[in-house]
Chains A and B, each alone.
Chain A
């Protein structure tokens, strides 16, 4: 990974601008962490509430670098054969059938079991060679010559066994396949791990990563994000809707609206050709960023005040 992209990771400001061009507005802290991760060759563990753009960050990184994004979605029960590699059993079987005659040829003339065995041993591992290896996301990421962005999504959902297994890849960028040996990364991938904090990650894992916490953005940052993602939205409406969303976040809700939901709402406002916020329109579109009946009930009670405030410039 290193030499290919040095130009793109020369300065923190450069990263910020490059990401913005790719459609992701990142705060200085995020840019600084990316910069460090690249130069120290460390994975980044990204935490934060749902919908603040953790996964999006990795996607944008891959666009920015122009390398493939390899994604591994974690879930309970995920194991090596789904994350790392599996043998192509079918292919192995097929090949042994096809090569049956060839086997006869090879063994032709060999007398006795010992002799045939020793003859066979000359070809010993052909069926357990890289040709029959089905690479899964982790191995695939190591095999990319131009480097890759590896996204291990929602790592907190995986079992602890799997977390322990990740350690080797994260620190050494290598994996051990018993039949073949150790496979080193051709080019070190840029690794993102995301976590929603459903459980605490182990010390060992944290130690190997840089830690990045993405909180909900402040008014200015959120405004910038909307500007980049939904450029068709008029400036006045953008300011108003961001102010409205920020107010909603201060209420005591079951689930506060995330950035992705703000973006969705902005898109809806564009489709509806809204000029400015008005309570009726908000009432109709509340369900875009609120996903619980109780929350809807609470916000409905505040719509008028909050719209007023948002219009006055909060």
Chain B
């Protein structure tokens, strides 16, 4: 039974539940305590020891049900199988005997044993399925069965021909059952393995090359990333501010030393959470990446409390409310189309966008604000209004520019990146999720 529990734990890990060694030991102890006779009780106790959050509980429930589902050997055509039960011959192989006598429990057992032998829990890719089916069939003694069928076909009597036919039907049925079993095991053990590979691949892919079908997956990756980064940085760290004595605390400490100010205590100041203003270019030149930039902004909006988001093309509009009101997919589509936002999707005009920003929102920029600009700085040879960027730089804590183009392209053609560069605290190429992650890690690490 221990082996079964271990397999369950492997399956759970595969589905994304993190289980440590000590937890699996707890689970074994719990199972020993409660016994295996009461299914519901076993489930409750394993759930208490293995799944440690509400989300994990849900995964556990489905995984447990699937793992311990009573998948007896199903035989849809049982009648035809069972009829010649009397015709068991001495020379029949064990597998044929079981098939002929309709010993479903025995077949199920033997299939599971065979699966254990072939190491089914190592299945990773869907391409391995047929390999495992063959291996299991072999381990169950398929060869003997085939030989039996051949021998019976050669024996030229109506009885043996009928028996051969039955065996053949039973063999097909056996194949189906094993296939279902492997399918089920695959979904249990390999589901996330494949997912992980795709994910790893997507992380390093250029955002502009991503396709529609990966959109949903990308969203999950970005959300995961933002959540992880936020977890990492959301802790409010105290930074001690030397030079200001905390009189109250020091006096209290000094009681132990007869009132001598022996152990001095200093005032600590909490670092403020960050305040971000993000400007995102949605023009045609960055069309391919803008959707992911928006996706990213959406996630940022969810986890960082003080974020205001703007999009611009020929002019600039605030869109924070769109992020709050709509679900992610709808919000991104709305922003890309610019429905009812008053945005003009004409020629990209960074100059105008900065002018708009100066007119309406510059007052909101304080020395705690980080201004984040996502765009390629291609201004169609218009006035770049660098002095406004300079002004923003002076008022804000810092400007961070994430450009989807590689650095060698900056300043070529109508790109004004070189002129904007002096006012940016940090300017980075940002064309894959990994880039995005690094930039944001940096951003959050600075405490906003």
Contact = CB atoms under 8 A, between A and B. Distances in A.
Given A32-B41, A32-B45, A92 B256 contact: yes
Which of A92, A197, A210 counts the most B-chain CB atoms under 10 A from its CB? A210
Interface in A182-235: 197, 199-200, 203, 206-213
Given A12-B41, A32-B34, A160-B235, A213 B23 contact: no
A85 interface: no
A42 B45 CA distance: 13
Contacts of A213: 54, 57
A210 B256 contact: no
Interface in B1-43: 18, 20, 22-23, 26, 29-30, 33-34, 40-41
Contact of B258 (A33, A93, A203): A93
Contact of A89 (B26, B34, B256): B256
A39 interface: yes
A211 B258 contact: no
B255 A207 contact: no
Interface residues of B, number: 27
B51 interface: yes
A29 interface: yes
Given A40-B29, A40-B30, A33 B256 contact: no
B44 A29 contact: yes
Contacts of B54: 47, 197, 213
A126 to B, nearest CB: 15
B49 interface: yes
B52 A211 contact: yes
A64 interface: no
A207 B234 CA distance: 22
Contacts of A40: 26, 29-30, 33, 49
A237 interface: no
Contacts of A33: 44-45, 48
B212 interface: no
Nearest to B253: A89
Contacts of A160: 235
B327 interface: no
A36 B256 contact: no
A200 B55 CA distance: 12
Contact of A36 (B30, B53, B231): B30
B45 A203 contact: no
B403 to A, nearest CB: 34
Given A42-B26, A90-B255, A36 B45 contact: yes
A36 B51 contact: no
B324 to A, nearest CB: 16
B49 A36 contact: yes
B29 A28 contact: no
A212 B256 contact: no
Contact of B49 (A87, A90, A210): A210
B256 to A, nearest CB: 5
B51 A211 contact: yes
Nearest to B23: A207
Nearest to B33: A39
B119 to A, nearest CB: 28
A124 to B, nearest CB: 16
Interface in A4-20: 12
B48 A36 contact: yes
Nearest to B54: A213
Contacts of B235: 160
A87 B256 contact: yes
Contacts of A12: 41
B48 A210 contact: yes
B48 A212 contact: yes
A90 B175 CA distance: 83
Interface in B50-64: 51-54, 57
Contacts of B234: 199
Nearest to B254: A89
A40 to B, nearest CB: 6
Contacts of B52: 45, 206-207, 209, 211
Interface string B285-314: 000000000000000000000000000000
Contact of B231 (A197, A200, A207, A210): A200
B280 to A, nearest CB: 29
A207 B20 contact: yes
A149 B18 CA distance: 29
B254 to A, nearest CB: 9
Contacts of A39: 33
Which of A33, A40, A200 counts the most B-chain CB atoms under 10 A from its CB? A40
A13 B359 CA distance: 71
Given A40-B30, A213-B54, A32 B255 contact: no
A28 B40 contact: yes
Interface in A39-57: 39-40, 42, 45, 47
Contacts of B49: 36, 40, 210-211
A15 B18 CA distance: 30
A121 to B, nearest CB: 19
Contacts of B20: 203, 207
B40 A203 contact: no
Contact of A207 (B22, B33, B44, B45): B22
A197 B57 CA distance: 15
B184 to A, nearest CB: 27
A33 B57 CA distance: 14
Interface in B205-243: 231, 234-235
Contact of B255 (A35, A89, A210): A89
Interface string A76-109: 0000000000010110110010000000000000
A199 B235 CA distance: 10
A12 to B, nearest CB: 7
A154 B23 CA distance: 23
A87 B195 CA distance: 56
Interface string B238-265: 0000000000000000011010000000
Contacts of B231: 200
Interface string A229-261: 000000000000000000000000000000000
A256 B256 CA distance: 50
B309 to A, nearest CB: 25
24 contacts: A28-B41, A28-B44, A32-B41, A32-B48, A33-B44, A33-B45, A35-B34, A36-B30, A36-B45, A36-B48, A39-B33, A47-B54, A89-B256, A160-B235, A200-B231, A203-B18, A206-B52, A207-B20, A207-B22, A207-B23, A210-B48, A211-B48, A211-B51, A213-B54
Given A32-B44, A212-B48, A213-B57, 16 more contacts: A28-B44, A29-B44, A32-B41, A32-B48, A36-B34, A36-B48, A40-B29, A87-B256, A89-B255, A89-B256, A199-B234, A200-B231, A203-B20, A206-B52, A210-B26, A211-B52
- Top 9 A-B residue pairs of the complex, sorted by shortest distance between their CB atoms: A206-B52, A89-B255, A32-B44, A210-B48, A211-B52, A33-B48, A29-B44, A89-B256, A36-B30
